[in-house]
């Protein structure tokens, strides 16, 4: 008998799940299972858990329950990024996860009522037992939205009026933030027992990585680091190298022009002329001469120079100053690191390899390669003196072969004379001068010693200067040093 009841419940749930999913235009929750508690199963496919208690609800109320859960993904919050962002905005509230989850439920419910004509959501709330004061306020709010009335005490009525002033369906980011904070102040003291249906701990490492990358492109550096610290307090481990994530994703905003290699010296037949009998027989055109080597009839090819481009991007070496006079990338925005990552990323995306020479008290180098180690070497901050080991760099470039050299510094290099002599021997050099880190006129004098005819210099005072960076060559060669 119990087995027959289970089969009947499963068939009923499947029928209602399919109907609701169709009415919501097929949100990304593709399957369900019956469980003790309602919620979600996170994995390769998102699955809804329909609680056994919900199966005891009438059909319309069950439809409302399933619709509310599905609309969390069809409408709001619909992504881990939104969940993380909302909890970050609520960082000053101890109950931020519960407040965020309740807010998301309100938005999803209102959207069902007003935008999708899903009145069954009211049937769900009318049959669901209130588990705390927050539920009483929520039920009264939804009834009022639907044009009904419910009796609540005076203090609740005041909070209800405040909620009715919030446009929950305005989800532009700035308005969403303000709405969420207003809502938090209304319900903070009311929340008792409320368990979020979707928690950031439910998501896997891959989903977390993708969400953080999205947020890194939207938040400033200090906000992003604070967000990562907040996540670390709620999950099993801290976010690894948040500053690297931020710089890598921020650098995606910028495309750097990289001049491809070109080769000259080839010849091509540009036109047909009269054949001169003292000329080379190799220039003779038998087709245009009808096969006859006769004066007045015989023709020849005239050749011109031809410049052909294979459009290949060479490997690159980023020589980056991480001395104490440069900004520490973990404490403030380092335009040196941001510019270096933009350059490196553009080379890597064009199929090239990137090497790094990070210098301060010593040269810390990695050979031209691909992958995370490139960005690890760029963001490394030594914070010591500003001495470039020229002999070491010379040997490094000799081993690296034909590479573009990009030097990034504020100009405060102590052995500038030695560096200047060496860089003058290079066929081409791109210098990104971080003027925002220049702390004295002496740095400006030193950087001028590098400025030779083989050097391209780009001044970076702020982030808006980074798109102007370009890597060009004065001489097209395949080897240096």
The mean pLDDT of the chain is 86
Name the β-bridge partners of 356.
318, 366
* Cβ neighbours around 284 below 10 Å, total: 16
pLDDT at residue 315 tops 70: yes
Residue 356 · residue 322 · CB < 8 Å: no
Q: What is the pLDDT of residue 481?
A: 44
Query: At residue 235, does pLDDT exceed 60?
Result: no
Task: Find out whether 354 and 316 touch, Cβ atoms under 8 Å.
Answer: yes
- Higher-pLDDT residue of 192 and 76 is 76
pLDDT given at position 437: 66
Residue range 403-416, pLDDT digits in tens: 999 999 998 899 99
Which letter does DSSP use for residue 435 in this model?
A: G
Q: Is the pLDDT of residue 77 over 50?
A: yes
Share of the chain above pLDDT 90, in %: 58
pTM across the whole model: 0.77
> pLDDT band for position 196 (50/70/90)?
confident
* Cα–Cα distance for residue pair 72/121, rounded to 1 Å: 13
| Topology (CATH level 3) of domain 315-471 | Rossmann fold (3.40.50)
pLDDT of residue 477: 37
Q: How many residues does the chain have?
A: 481
Q: How far apart are the first and last CA of the chain?
A: 86
What are the structure tokens assigned to 21, written together? 């999913």
> Of 471 and 369, which is predicted with more confidence?
369
**Does residue 70 surpass a pLDDT of 50?**
yes
Contact by Cβ (8 Å): 125, 142 = yes
Banded pLDDT at 476 (limits 50, 70, 90)? very low
The more confident residue out of 479 and 258 is 258
So what's the pLDDT on residue 299? 63
Q: Report the pLDDT value the prediction gives residue 368, as an integer from 0 to 100.
A: 95
- 455 compared with 354, residue with greater pLDDT: 354
Domain borders along the chain are: 1-240, 263-309, 315-471
Each residue's pLDDT tens digit, 270-307 = 455 665 655 555 554 554 555 555 666 666 555 555 45
Q: Which two tokens stand for residue 475?
A: 């001489």
Q: Radius of gyration over alpha carbons of the chain, in Å?
A: 33
**Contact status, residue 404 vs residue 317, Cβ threshold 8 Å:** yes
**CA–CA separation, 210 and 444 (whole Å):** 41
């Amino acid at each position: 008998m119990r087995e027959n009841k289970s089969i009947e419940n499963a068939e009923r749930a499947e029928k209602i799940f399919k109907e609701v999913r169709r009415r919501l235009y097929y949100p990304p929750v593709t399957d369900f299972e019956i469980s003790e508690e309602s919620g979600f199963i996170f994995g390769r496919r998102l699955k809804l858990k329909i609680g056994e208690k919900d199966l005891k609800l009438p059909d319309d109320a069950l439809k409302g329950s399933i619709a509310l859960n599905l609309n969390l993904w069809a409408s709001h919050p619909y992504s881990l990024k939104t969940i993380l962002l909302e909890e970050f905005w609520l960082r000053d509230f101890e109950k931020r996860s519960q407040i965020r989850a309740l807010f998301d439920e309100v938005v999803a419910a209102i959207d069902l009522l007003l935008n999708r004509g899903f009145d069954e959501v009211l049937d769900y709330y009318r049959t669901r037992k209130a588990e705390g004061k927050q539920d009483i306020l929520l039920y009264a709010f939804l009834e009022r939205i639907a044009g009904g009335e419910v009796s609540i005490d005076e203090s609740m009525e005041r909070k209800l009026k405040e909620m009715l002033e919030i446009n929950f369906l305005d989800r532009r980011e700035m308005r969403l933030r303000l709405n969420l904070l207003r809502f938090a102040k209304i319900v903070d003291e009311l929340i008792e027992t409320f368990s979020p249906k979707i928690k950031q701990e439910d998501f896997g490492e891959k989903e977390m990585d993708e969400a953080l990358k999205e947020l890194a492109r939207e938040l400033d550096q200090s906000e992003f680091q604070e967000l990562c610290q907040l996540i670390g307090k709620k999950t099993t481990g801290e976010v690894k190298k948040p500053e690297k994530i931020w710089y890598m994703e921020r650098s995606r905003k910028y495309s750097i022009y990289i001049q491809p290699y070109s080769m000259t010296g080839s010849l091509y037949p540009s036109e047909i002329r009269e054949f001169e009998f003292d000329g080379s027989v190799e220039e003779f055109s038998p087709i245009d001469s009808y096969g006859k080597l006769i004066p007045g009839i015989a023709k020849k090819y005239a050749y011109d120079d031809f410049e052909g481009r294979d459009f290949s991007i060479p490997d690159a070496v980023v020589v980056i100053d991480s001395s104490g006079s440069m900004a520490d990338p973990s404490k403030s925005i380092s335009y040196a690191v941001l510019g270096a990552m933009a350059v490196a990323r553009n080379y890597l995306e064009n199929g090239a390899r990137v090497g790094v020479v990070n210098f301060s008290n010593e040269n810390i180098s990695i050979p031209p390669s691909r992958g995370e180690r490139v960005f690890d070497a760029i963001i490394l901050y030594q914070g010591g003196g500003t001495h470039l080991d020229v002999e070491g760099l010379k040997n490094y470039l000799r081993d690296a072969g034909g590479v573009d050299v990009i030097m990034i510094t504020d100009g405060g290099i102590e052995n500038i004379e030695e560096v200047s002599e060496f860089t003058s021997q290079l066929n081409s050099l791109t210098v990104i001068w971080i003027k925002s880190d220049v702390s004295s006129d002496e740095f400006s004098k030193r950087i001028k010693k590098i400025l030779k005819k083989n050097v391209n210099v780009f001044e970076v005072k702020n982030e808006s200067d980074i798109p102007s960076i370009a890597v060009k060559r004065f001489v097209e060669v395949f080897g240096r040093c």
